[in-house]
Amino acid sequence: MSRHPFLADLARRFPPDRLLTNAAHLAAYESDALTAFHSKPAAVVLPETQAEVIDAVKICHAHGIPFVARGSGTSLSGGSLPVKDGLVIGLNRLNRILRLDPKERLAVVEPGVINLNVSKAAAPYGLYYAPDPSSQPICTLGGNVAFNSGGAHCLKYGMTSNHVLGLKVVLPDGAVAQLGGESLESVGPDWHGLFVGSEGLFGVALEITLRLLPKPELYRTVLAAYDSMEKAGNAVAAVVAAGLLPGAMEIMDRLSIQAAEAAVHANYPPGAAALLIVELDGEAQAVEEEFKQLMQVINGTGAYEVRVPKTEAERQAIWKGRKSAFSAVGRISPDYIVQDGVVPRSKLGQALAEIDALSARHGIRVANVFHAGDGNLHPLILYDGREPGALDRAEALAAEIMALCIRLGGSITGEHGVGMEKRKFMPQLFAEVDMDMMWNLRCAVDTLQIANRGKMFPGGEAPALAHRGPHPLERAGVISRE
């Protein structure tokens, strides 16, 4: 049987060791970190240059084949799940920091660069890259851009969108566009702001210009243990009411504490129903003054133990436990679903109480670990996929938690994205006119709907729109045809 013309075109561009079609090779790409979803692509290509990425996209467009760009595959919403019989463009080999300018405080990187490696490269200049998702040691900047990743310190420093100055991207038809630039002040439409968080629906980032920040002079971290989640939640409200803006405020519940202890032996206070981690950072004198105020607040919140790390190693141990929580849950449950709904900070206590009630009603354990400062919940719904119907019951509980977040005036996602997992909740969050606007924008940029097809929109995909003149970015003068 002759090879499909699409695969034949790929074979002319990519050598056999970087064009994967064997079932055993494809198996590694059939899922991302949300393992409840599986899909088999027709092929995987492993480009080593930007030109190869552009050519892969052009081949897909010529044949009408959908494609998904993928880095480390850490998406927790099915965002990098392959489209059935489509192409996966693996970007891990585009892992160069192309430029690091300490004077201008910026870095230009390829999409396969690991998040933490930017800060490592910038450290000799007293700089760092602020967004710090829990998967920071393995997640790549291309994925961070696609899903507008946050992290523990997003309360003070914001999300990926607050740190991306410019992008070089290949659009779904193979055209190359330069969005934004190297300045915080841009002229004209915020095209790069539109691209960040678009979940791969607008194409693939080839170069990312990042803003770097001076490393804080001083960190002061406080770990407070409570005998109830309610007290920990009230402590968050007290810190905010005091006018403090910590770099991070995180809460872990009993189950997530147990998991972290089993995995990394963080030596957290024994018997805690909840832990609150608050971290101040910045100029030394200002941090010391804020720390005095913070300790007064924390000491009045009913914590039965308060720890202040004396060394950087002790501080890192606290954060290692927190950042290992997601993966560590595998120590206490064979499977889990993690959500990332958002509620107003004032509704945190109510949300946690209702999640506890839902957990009891469904008979399913839920571990809670979350960015308390901005109300970004991360309930981990524990189940055993080997039990018949267990996944369906876990998903039913997850759906009720999503509905709860919407009812309390929040959102269905803070940083993980919509992906495959939350598509059906979009009409509950957005009005029909808003959904139509998003759909029309998606189709204006990608008339064939081949970029990450099937993600985000509840109905999957519709027939491609008729071509209606020049591409909107071409009219704006930001596209080049290579």
Q: How many domains does the chain have?
A: 3
CA 321, 325, 327, 328 dihedral sign is positive
Does 459 have pLDDT greater than 80? no
**Residues with Cβ within 8 Å of residue 100, at least 6 apart in sequence:** 106, 107, 108, 121, 122, 125
Q: 204 with 261, same domain?
A: no
Q: Which range, of 187-191, 277-281, 299-303, averages the lowest pLDDT?
A: 187-191
Domain membership flag for residue 376: yes
Is 479 inside a domain boundary?
Answer: no
Query: Rounded mean pLDDT of 243-265?
Result: 91
* Model confidence at 143: pLDDT above 50: yes
Indicate the length of the chain as a whole number.
482
- Which of 304, 327, 350 is a domain's end point? 327
Question: Which pLDDT belongs to residue 2?
Answer: 41
Mark whether 408 and 465 lie in a shared domain: no
Same domain for 52 and 150?
Answer: yes
On average, the pLDDT of the chain sits at: 91
- Asked whether residue 362 is domain-assigned, the answer is yes
Residue 460 has a pLDDT of: 62
The CA distance from 347 to 342, in Å, is: 10
SS3 category, 385: coil
Does 163 lie in the same domain as 46? yes
pLDDT at 224: 97
36 pLDDT tier (thresholds 50, 70, 90) = confident
Please tell me whether residues 226 and 292 are part of one structural domain: yes
Question: Residue 444: enclosing H or E segment and its boundaries?
Answer: helix 432-445
Residue 480 lies in a domain: no
Does the structure show a pLDDT above 80 at 394?
yes
- Tell me the CATH number at 390: 3.30.70.2740
Is residue 4 situated within a structural domain? yes
- 2 assigned to some structural domain: yes
Where are the extended beta strands (E) located within 145-215? Answer: 164-170, 176-180, 204-211, 213-214
Residue 77 · residue 420 · CB < 8 Å: yes
Q: What percent of the chain has pLDDT over 90?
A: 76
Residue 152 has pLDDT above 90, yes or no: no
Confidence category of residue 466, pLDDT binned at 50, 70, 90:
very low
For residues 406 and 417, membership in a common domain is answered with yes
User: Is residue 304 pLDDT above 50, yes or no?
Assistant: yes
Q: Looking at residue 428, what is its pLDDT?
A: 93
| pLDDT of 114 higher than 90 | yes
Beta carbons of 226 and 235 less than 8 angstroms apart: yes
Q: How confident is the model at residue 461 (pLDDT cuts 50, 70, 90)?
A: low
Would you state the pLDDT for residue 1? 32
* pLDDT the model gives residue 400: 96
Sequence-ordered alpha helix ranges (H) in 173-245: 191-195, 229-241
- Write down which residue in 327, 344, 370 finishes a domain: 327
pLDDT higher than 80, residue 445: yes
Is the domain of 128 the same as that of 14?
A: yes
Do 84 and 2 share a structural domain?
yes
> Are 323 and 177 contained in the same domain?
no
Choosing from 307, 327, 347, the residue where a domain stops is 327
Q: Is residue 311 part of a domain?
A: yes
Give the pLDDT score at 464.
44
DSSP class of residue 250 equals E
Residue span of the structural domain in which 123 resides: 1-215+432-471
The yes-or-no verdict on residue 349 having pLDDT over 90 is no
292 and 420 housed in the same domain? no
Confidence of residue 463 (pLDDT cuts 50, 70, 90): very low
List Cβ<8 Å contacts ≥24 apart for 191-195: 191/473, 191/476, 191/478, 192/164, 192/165, 192/166, 192/167, 193/161, 195/145, 195/167, 195/169
187: CATH? 3.30.465.10
Q: Is the pLDDT of residue 116 over 70?
A: yes
Residues 174 and 287 in one domain: no
Whether residue 350 is found in the same domain as residue 273: no
CB atoms inside a 10 Å sphere around CB 64: 11
> Is residue 481 one of the residues assigned to a domain?
no
Structure confidence at residue 481 (pLDDT): 57
